[in-house]
Structure 1
Amino acid sequence: MPLANTASYPIWVNVLLFLAAGLVIWFAGGRLTTALDAVAAKTRLDHAFVGMLLLGGITSLPEVANTITAASIGKPALAINNLLGSAAINVLLLAVVDAFIGRQAVTSIVAKPSTMMMAATCMIVLIVIAGLITVGDVPVAGLGAGSIAIAVLAVLSFWLSASHDKRSPWMVDEDGDGKPDTAEDDPAPQASLTRLWVEIAITGAAIFAAGYTLSEVGDGLATQLGLTSAVVGFGLIGTATSLPELVTIIAALKLNRPEMAFGQVLGTNFVNLALFPLSDAFFRGEPVINTLGKFETVSALLGATLIGIFMVGLLEHRDRTIFKMGVDSAAVIVVFLGGLAVLAQL
């Protein structure tokens, strides 16, 4: 249910609400990551899988709320640009955090083949989106056929990535002992699984509520500032709803869980991109893909390019740094800024 018309609030009230919701997400996101890491230790689940499925799914809740709200009020560009903006911004956040957490390039300490599978398949989904925006969509049972195809491809990519390590014929073996390089098992936490799941549910609900508030207040601020739906969706709301990802990336890397950080970023992207049919379901009009244009095409290709840069870093698997961050992270930041310049011209 939408909040009261936030555009009618004084700007300073909206700013305070924005900051308050951000603080809730900051603390809840940190607790969520710690609790999920404890669940992974207790159940011996793979950290990449936990990051992709659980962290990715929970931190996508704000995008779910924003997609439904924006589409139902007749602003599909706001909904889709939020999804595409988050896809690119999430990758950017991983690069930025790399500069502040440790001195190793984050891609040099990732040892799971599934991380590379996630990167490759996420690039494919984003490129397909750019192609469908170019050629157009057709309605099928009240939804766009292209939107359905995107969701199916995202879910299939998610499944391929989650099960890839079990099927992979290769592994990282830097010490030459013929065994995969893995972190030492951590002792199981003292808290019970029931208590951990309750904490996860509470923090997830807090993230959903705060993320939804960010979206609503962001839309009000955009109206007050006279910005377009494309710019608002990609920049302001895309950044706002990516705040849970920023917190969980920081927490995961502080816990020395690079696979969880990558899994969280790319898992969130899979979940977000699978929301295309949701925007069609709540938008009363033609398929939402047909309402998009060059701005969204460039947004999708920008996200794919940023992931591709990290893909190269994962394949190189070398600890090359500049300004305390991996060379690939620095390249991601530069390309993102260049992409923003292009989007500003559109």
Structure 2
Amino acid sequence: MSIMNPEQWSLLQGGLVFSLCALVIGLAGTRITRIVDQLADSTGIGEAAAGAVLLGASTSVGGSVLSVTSAWNGHAELAISNALGGIAVQTFFLAIADMFYRRANLEHAAASAPNMMQNGLLISLLALIMLAPHLPDVTFWGIHPVTPVLFGFYAYGLRLVQRTQKTPMWRPSITRETRQDTPDDISAMPSPARLWTEFLLLMTVLGLAGWTLEPAATTIAAKTGMSYTIVGVMLTAVSTSIPELVTSVAAVRRGALTLAVGGIIGGNAFDTLFTAASDIAYRQGSIYHAMSADTQFWVALTLLMSAILIMGLIRRERNGIGHIGAESLAILVLYIMGVGVLLTGSPA
């Protein structure tokens, strides 16, 4: 039985490869956060923009490669559930990070116009994905019309986020607990060339790990009889989102709250493009019309979680039960309930 041929892997071999890839993604993703924090200061683009573009995209590379590879191999449900399950679990991780900031609720301390704009962008993109299965099942060169709309809307949304960062039309009230972007000492940092080189190298490592993770995930699904939705939501989405958990907690403990929140929300917005890229790679038609009822349930659940988060950023409760915001608590409960529904049976 050759380890070089994924089709011949046993469940043990698939599990070992899966675990190794998850470890690599966790280590590389954790390291890349520090690099992004330094790039945010050395380039002057700010933590919110860096979190949305650099951190959000880079820590999502493993998941994006996995989704596209799955779609190319005809595993549409794994591709979609990995993408959309990752958004839900990363929002869940943000609520966990709230537990590690003791001065105030994270939604209060990290409120900013760019973060709220990013969240509005995320909700719009999720709504488009949720709408797609109800549109006519037509494709042009194998691509559904919603796919270019997703890419275009994302690019437009990034422009709005950047404009909001530079010239905000309003600002949240500054309180004693509000933490703003405070650049580190640039003179003590490595050169920009070294930072960009390490950033690109780590992105490559994350991409290779995601590419290797796909055959391991399909092996686990085949050998255990679990659905691709469960494997995507519970295994691949969680494993490829490990960097977001580690980096968010690390950023919160370091006081880089805007980067922590911006990285999660920005990464979530970027993750919606996994579905668009997967539609291009999927050659059997529209990938949106291959979505199961379970996956559509997760889109609706993630929409609700994202809406609650933006309400928390606007409401800005200082302290809640156990020093965690009411919105974070609601997100924790919703995610756990969603996992329970998925494991016990179809929500349909």
After TM superposition, the score normalised by the length of structure 1 is 0.90
- Does residue 186 of structure 1 match 2:184? yes
1:27–1:283 CA distance, 2 compared to 1 (3 A): closer
Deviations 1:137-176 (A, max 9, x none): 3212331112222332233223322322334221123359
CA distance in 2, matches of 1:15, 1:138: 38
Equivalent position amino acid for 1:53 in 2: V
Q: Which residue of 1 aligns with 2:37?
A: 37
Q: Which moved more, 1:97-106 or 1:60-69?
A: 97-106
Deviation at 1:288, TM superposition (A): 1.1
Q: Which residue of 2 aligns with 1:110?
A: 110
1:142–1:35 CA distance, 2 compared to 1 (3 A): same
Equivalent position amino acid for 1:318 in 2: E
- Does residue 265 of structure 1 match 2:289? no
Q: Is the 8 A contact 2:32 2:202 kept in 1?
A: yes
Q: Is the 8 A contact 2:46 2:181 kept in 1?
A: no
Deviation at 1:11, TM superposition (A): 3.2
Deviation at 1:331, TM superposition (A): 1.0
For residues 1-346 of structure 1, what are the structure 2 equivalents within 5 Å? Answer: 4-6=4-6, 8-175=8-175, 182-188=180-186, 189-344=188-343, 345-346=345-346
Equivalent position amino acid for 1:312 in 2: M
Equivalent position amino acid for 1:113 in 2: A
Q: Is the 8 A contact 1:51 1:264 kept in 2?
A: yes
Deviation at 1:237, TM superposition (A): 1.4
Equivalent position amino acid for 1:90 in 2: Q
CA distance in 2, matches of 1:182, 1:303: 27
Equivalent residues, number: 341
1:134–1:39 CA distance, 2 compared to 1 (3 A): same
CA distance in 2, matches of 1:162, 1:150: 18
Q: Which moved more, 1:278-287 or 1:5-14?
A: 5-14
Q: Is the 8 A contact 1:150 1:276 kept in 2?
A: no
Q: Which moved more, 1:34-43 or 1:315-324?
A: 315-324
Equivalent position amino acid for 2:245 in 1: L
Deviation at 1:5, TM superposition (A): 4.6
1:119–1:12 CA distance, 2 compared to 1 (3 A): same
Three-state SS of the structure 1 residue aligned to 2:74 is coil
Q: Is the 8 A contact 2:121 2:269 kept in 1?
A: no
Q: Is the 8 A contact 1:48 1:115 kept in 2?
A: yes
Deviations 1:239-274 (A, max 9, x none): 122122222222322221222122222222222212
CA distance in 1, matches of 2:81, 2:235: 10
Three-state SS of the structure 2 residue aligned to 1:341 is helix
Unaligned runs of at least 5 residues, structure 1: none
* TM-align CA RMSD: 2.3
Identity of aligned residues (%): 26
After TM superposition, the score normalised by the length of structure 2 is 0.89
CA distance in 1, matches of 2:279, 2:171: 41
